[in-house]
Amino acid sequence: MFGGTALNGTTRSSASGNPGNPKSNVPYTNGQHNNNSGPSDSERLLLRLLSLGAKDEAAARHLGVSVRTVRRMIADLMRRMDARSRFQAGILAAERGWL
C-alpha cells in the first residue's frame, strides 16, 4: 500500500509462499537486463511508486529491499533508458508504456 491505495491489488506476501520474507518476491541483481529489455515486475512497481511521489525510503520499505538496492535499481533503469535524470527516466518510462 502507498498512500492508502493498493498499487497492484495484491498483498505483500511472496509468490514463493513465504510471507515472512518480503524480500523473496523482489528478485533483483544488478545488470540482469540488457539495454532493450523491459522492466521486471519489481522495477515496474518501483516506477509506479516513484510516479506517485514515493521517496526512495518508502519505495524500499514497500518492496522489502534496502534503500541502496532501490537506488541501484533506479540507476540500472536510467542506464538502460539512457536517461540523464530521474525526471527524464520517468518521461521515457511513460513513453515506453512501462508505467
Q: How far apart are the first and last CA of the chain?
A: 17
Report how far residue 89's alpha carbon sits from residue 72's, in angstroms, rounded to the nearest whole number.
14
> Cα 15 to chain center, whole Å?
17
pLDDT tens, residue by residue, 43-90: 999 999 999 999 999 999 999 999 999 999 999 999 999 999 999 999
9 Rama sector, left if φ>0, alpha if ψ -120 to 50, beta otherwise: left
Question: Tens digits of per-residue pLDDT, 19-56?
Answer: 444 444 444 444 455 556 789 999 999 999 999 999 99
17 vs 11: CA distance, rounded Å: 12
Q: Residue 29's pLDDT is what?
A: 47
d(CA 98, CA 12): 21
List the grid coordinates of 42.
Answer: 519489481
Cross-strand pairs, 2: 5
> Is 0.85 surpassed by the pTM of this model?
no
| Domain boundaries along the sequence of the chain | 32-95
Residue 98 in grid coordinates: 512501462
Pick among 3.40.50.300, 3.10.129.10, 1.10.10.10, 3.30.590.10: CATH of 32-95? 1.10.10.10
